[in-house]
């Protein structure tokens, strides 16, 4: 295993998570890190920078892991690609679709590897559900229903994620983007969107605290989304309804464990009442206790760089599709 000489730009929460996953993998030589906040650098024993350009230009790196504020992602990713570096970047892929298209242009002329981090695709419950859907074990998928909620914090309205010039959007772009990506992952591209994006509680905040959307594909699949910062608890629920049964994903393993137990429940329709009662089909439930999503992502990026294995998840095409959908929710047909 030939290590990839790698630098990490942004050493906050996500930078630390990516650093730990890279170390566990064993195929990364983390040669430097960069963060404007020196307090974020105290736990690292490696050359440290506060200027990301200097970090990239003086370290002889092969790859960069980008874990910065949304406002810097496009600039850093484009610069790195144009400088001949492979790039692994946190979501979102820029603050808006325009920035994602700038990244696409840089990628297409770079001949480098580019992967965006949409780690929800790598959660065990999602992997199991994807297998059921792709193999049509419950028939054809016809609709999806997703709720992704946060508790908020006492200073939520002043957090960087809710300063539009830095973040580009509110709860939808911060967290709801994961649910939208899963909608696309399971059912394909959505072309029609009816949405309502609001400040229902945090009235003085620059960005939204709630986003509701009904989405439809050209082939008739329908999805509903509620992305919320006013759930007042952490919540992840995704229902996938098929012609012959259904799948429910509840809870999500995270570093804080605040979303509860991660589990998948699936069942076949039972209109003939074989179980003895209509509306009470036999259910099968699996629970998961380990979150391997970070490790799976770092392994995929390594294989792409060293072994020429194509990126499966988090491609530039995935990024464009989800940002196009985000833009439709923000600016499409809306009820104000």
Kindly report the CATH number assigned to the domain that includes residue 129.
Answer: 3.30.360.10
- Within-domain flag for 63: yes
Is residue 278 classed exposed, middle or buried when 0-12, 13-18 and 19+ CB atoms within 10 A define those classes?
exposed
- Within-domain flag for 222: yes
The interaxial angle of helices 316-331 and 177-187, nearest 10 deg, is 120
User: Given a cut of 90, is residue 310 above it in pLDDT?
Assistant: yes
56-109 pLDDT, tens per residue?
A: 999 999 999 999 999 999 999 999 999 999 999 999 999 999 999 999 999 999
- Within-domain flag for 296: no
| Domain housing 14 | 4-117
Q: Given 80, 100, 117, which residue is the final one in a domain?
A: 117
Rounded CA separation 234/93 (Å): 24
Rounded CA separation 219/306 (Å): 39
293 touches 331 (CB < 8 A): no
Q: What is the predicted pLDDT for the residue at 336?
A: 45
- Within-domain flag for 285: yes
- Within-domain flag for 316: no
- Within-domain flag for 311: no
Strand partners, 288: 262
Q: Given 59, 83, 117, which residue is the final one in a domain?
A: 117
Q: Do both 273 and 139 map to the same domain?
A: yes
106-144 pLDDT, tens per residue?
A: 999 999 999 999 999 999 999 999 999 999 999 999 999
Q: Do both 69 and 142 map to the same domain?
A: no
64 touches 90 (CB < 8 A): no
How many domains does the chain contain in total? Answer: 2
Instruction: Say whether pTM exceeds 0.85.
Output: yes
3-state secondary structure of 29: strand
Strand partners, 114: 87
Q: Do both 38 and 84 map to the same domain?
A: yes
pLDDT class for 276, splitting at 50, 70, 90? low
Closest among 302, 327, 250 to 26, alpha carbons compared: 302
Closest among 161, 172, 234, 162 to 197, alpha carbons compared: 172
Closest among 240, 248, 251 to 144, alpha carbons compared: 240
């Amino acid at each position: 295993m030939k290590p990839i000489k790698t630098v990490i730009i942004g050493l906050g929460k996500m930078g630390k998570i990516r650093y730990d996953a890279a170390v566990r993998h064993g195929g990364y030589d983390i040669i430097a890190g960069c963060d404007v906040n020196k307090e974020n650098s105290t736990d690292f024993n490696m050359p440290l920078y506060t200027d990301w350009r200097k970090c990239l230009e003086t370290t002889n790196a092969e790859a960069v892991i980008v874990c910065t504020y949304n406002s810097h992602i496009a600039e850093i990713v484009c610069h790195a690609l144009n400088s001949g570096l492979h790039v692994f970047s946190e979501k979102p892929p820029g603050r808006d679709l325009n920035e994602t298209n700038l990244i696409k242009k840089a990628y297409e002329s770079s001949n480098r590897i580019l992967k965006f981090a949409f780690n929800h695709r790598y959660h065990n419950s999602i992997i199991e559900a994807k297998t059921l859907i792709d193999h049509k074990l419950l028939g054809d998928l016809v609709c999806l229903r997703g709720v992704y909620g946060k508790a908020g914090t006492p200073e939520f309205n002043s957090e960087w994620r809710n300063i539009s010039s830095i973040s580009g959007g509110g709860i939808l772009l911060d967290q709801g983007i994961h649910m939208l990506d899963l909608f696309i992952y399971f059912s394909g591209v959505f072309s029609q969107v009816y949405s309502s994006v609001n400040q229902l509680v945090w009235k003085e905040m620059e960005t939204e605290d709630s986003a509701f959307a009904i989405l439809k594909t050209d082939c008739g699949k329908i999805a509903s989304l509620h992305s919320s910062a006013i759930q007042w608890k952490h919540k992840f629920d995704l229902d996938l309804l098929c012609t012959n049964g259904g799948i429910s994903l509840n809870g999500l393993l995270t570093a804080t464990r605040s979303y509860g137990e991660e589990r998948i429940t699936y069942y076949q329709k039972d209109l003939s009442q074989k179980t003895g009662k209509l509306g009470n089909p036999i259910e099968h439930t699996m629970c998961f206790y380990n979150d391997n999503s970070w490790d799976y992502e770092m392994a995929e990026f390594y294989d792409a760089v060293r072994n020429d294995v194509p990126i499966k998840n988090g491609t530039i095409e995935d990024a464009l599709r989800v940002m196009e959908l985000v833009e439709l929710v923000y600016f499409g047909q809306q009820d104000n």
